[in-house]
Amino acid sequence: MPEPVQDDAYWSEMIKALEAEIAGIEQSQKACREQEWRLRDAEDPGAGVQHAQDIFELGQERLRLEVEADLRRRKIRRIRLGYLPDAAC
């Protein structure tokens, strides 16, 4: 297995790319959260308007995105600590 590049510029770029991915993920989380609240506000059980399945799916997506962001934060932490970025998650 080839040794990873140990160049500081390489790791800096890797961290910047991961931080950009995290920012994009956080935007997606925000959009899910907003859509979830719009659906909650639109519900009217008395009139038979319910969005339980859509709200559930948005919640699941938001949690999945949270895990994706956390994995990238952990990767950044491993890089900063000097561990290989492709080591165990």
Dihedral in degrees, nearest 10, Cα atoms 26, 14, 85, 62: 10
In a domain, 14, yes or no: yes
Q: Name the pTM for this structure.
A: 0.80
The conformation of residue 4, written as its DSSP 8-state character, comes to: P
In a domain, 74, yes or no: yes
In a domain, 58, yes or no: yes
In a domain, 59, yes or no: yes
Q: What residues have CB less than 8 Å from 28, skipping those under 6 apart?
A: 65
Task: Render pLDDT for 26-54 as a digit per residue (tens, 0 to 9).
Answer: 999 999 999 999 999 998 888 888 999 99
In a domain, 1, yes or no: no
pLDDT attached to residue 86: 59
Q: Domains in the chain: how many in total?
A: 1
Q: What residues have CB less than 8 Å from 81, skipping those under 6 apart?
A: none
In a domain, 89, yes or no: no
Task: Render pLDDT for 11-29 as a digit per residue (tens, 0 to 9).
Answer: 899 999 999 999 999 999 9
Please give the structure tokens belonging to residue 57.
């799916």
Range of the domain at 32: 9-41+49-81
